[in-house]
Amino acid sequence: MTVTPTTTHPGIDRIRRVDQAAFARDLAELKAEIDATSGEADVAHLRKMMRWSRAASLAGFATAWIAPNPISAIALGLASFTRWTIVGHHVCHGAYDRIDGAPSHFDSRRFGRGWRRFIDWFDWFLPEAWHQEHDLDHHYNLGEAADPDSVELNTKWLHDERIPLVLRYLLVVPLALTWRFTYYAATTIDALHTARERRARPGDAAPATLLRREVWLPWYPRGRDLILKSWLLYGVGRFLLLPALVYGVSPWAALSLAINLILGELYANLHSFVVIVSNHAGGDLYSFGKPATTKAEFQLRQAVASVNFRTGGDLNDFLHGFLNYQIEHHLWPSWTPRRYQRAQPHVKEICARHGVPYVQQPVWSRFQRLIAVIVGVETATPVDTRASEPSPARAPRGFAQVPIRVGLRGAMHGL
């Protein structure tokens, strides 16, 4: 993708006038202040969110055997959604690695690895594959052509003028209801294999696109991992083996449980699609043609290429999976959810003080803009964020100068 900076958008000049070094200094002061008062309370907060997630799961399983019903399905889907977005997401980012007193299974290097996958975070995704695709490839390439989660690039095939606009809108429905086990399961495994290939053969990695037979067919390593380690392991385990456990007691209970689990999965797909994909889509956000060259420029990009939803209150944040703090999350990926809650009003004020656009709207408003991007009637605005006078704050090692985004744990913690 070739991005040509323009000066026609009203926000372009505003972004170019930002004193990036001063903006980064104020963010650094806020980070130090929040970090200094974080610790055991952050672990206690995560445990609270885990209890809520488990309560939803318990409510779903306790009623799912009675008959197919929306209450059980939504409870089961909400449990899957929050276990992913609140627990798996933040632990894999290393949010609790450096907190004294945090349980050892909250360590990102142990969480969900090997047999612990079945007790920590059993889902369509391999935690190590999720870490590569999301924590590294997405976060350190946000808004660039190398971002694996770019909505515009991933739906470019849908923008073909030969596809009627009405059909494009209709195709959003199956995409939203299946994206966890179609798009995300495949793209995370593909990212993991691509990273391994780059380490073994620099400059000889497969192209970053899912439209390749290697991703889907079982006689290729990517396709084999997708089918065996994702679709079969999780799909059979959750949707066949669990209902089979109660079949001897009541075939009707087994059938009801299976149907509610499937409906719950569809709900988890829809809920997560609305909340996650909307975070970086809209014509009021920005895209970039080249990697950032300084840490200050990098942080500016995180703010102007992300969007927050309504924030505040554990219940509201739980239902959003704490993805309503996307700006703060991209500024400091290895933070805990509680730190985002405390920092958000200060980040908003810092952005206002420095003239940095800070987009915050209700999730349903952003979902409408997401659909507009998917069907090709809206697009992010390309902008050149290079400061007129380079900031002395250098970019974190690995994400700007080196094209291979691997081994970035230290740089991530540094943000």
Rounded Cα distance between 205 and 198, Å, is 5
Answer yes or no: are the C-beta atoms of 302 and 140 closer than 8 Å: no
Element holding 381 (H helix, E strand):
strand 381-382
Answer yes or no: are the C-beta atoms of 49 and 376 closer than 8 Å: no
Q: What is the pLDDT of residues 18-75, one digit of tens each?
A: 999 999 999 999 999 999 988 899 999 999 999 999 999 999 999 999 999 999 999 9
Contacts of 249 (CB under 8 A, 6+ apart): none
Rounded Cα distance between 374 and 156, Å, is 8
Burial class (CB in 10 A: 0-12, 13-18, 19+), 115: exposed
Answer yes or no: are the C-beta atoms of 20 and 296 closer than 8 Å: yes
Break the chain into its structural domains and give their ranges.
10-414
Lowest mean pLDDT among 46-50, 138-142, 405-409: 405-409
How many CA atoms, within 13 angstroms, populate the side-chain half-sphere of residue 332?
Answer: 24
The answer to whether the Cα torsion of 74, 75, 76, 78 is positive or negative is positive
Contacts of 400 (CB under 8 A, 6+ apart): 291, 292, 293, 294, 298
Percent of the chain with pLDDT over 70: 89
Element holding 11 (H helix, E strand):
helix 10-16
Query: Is residue 287 classed as helix, strand or coil in its secondary structure?
Result: strand
Rounded Cα distance between 129 and 135, Å, is 10
Long-range CB contacts for residues 157-165, cutoff 8 Å, separation at least 24: 157/211, 158/374, 158/375, 158/376, 159/375, 159/376, 165/375, 165/377
Contacts of 406 (CB under 8 A, 6+ apart): 136, 195, 198, 199, 398
Which DSSP state fits 306? -
415 falls in which pLDDT band (50, 70, 90)?
A: low
Q: What is the pLDDT of residues 361-380, one digit of tens each?
A: 999 999 999 999 999 999 99
pTM of the model: 0.89
Q: What is the pLDDT of residues 160-169, one digit of tens each?
A: 778 899 999 9
The answer to whether the Cα torsion of 276, 281, 282, 286 is positive or negative is positive
111 pLDDT above the threshold of 80: yes
280 falls in which pLDDT band (50, 70, 90)?
A: very high
3 pLDDT above the threshold of 90: no
Answer yes or no: are the C-beta atoms of 361 and 270 closer than 8 Å: no
- 391-397: average pLDDT: 44
The answer to whether the Cα torsion of 148, 153, 154, 157 is positive or negative is negative
207 falls in which pLDDT band (50, 70, 90)?
A: low
Q: What is the pLDDT of residues 210-247, one digit of tens each?
A: 778 888 999 999 999 999 999 999 999 999 999 999 99
pLDDT score recorded for residue 6: 40
Rounded Cα distance between 73 and 404, Å, is 41
116 pLDDT above the threshold of 70: yes
Element holding 286 (H helix, E strand):
strand 286-287
Q: What dihedral angle (degrees, nearest 10) is formed by the CA atoms of 279, 318, 180, 379?
A: -10
pLDDT score recorded for residue 413: 43
Closest C-alpha to 89, from 290, 330, 257 = 330
pLDDT score recorded for residue 213: 86
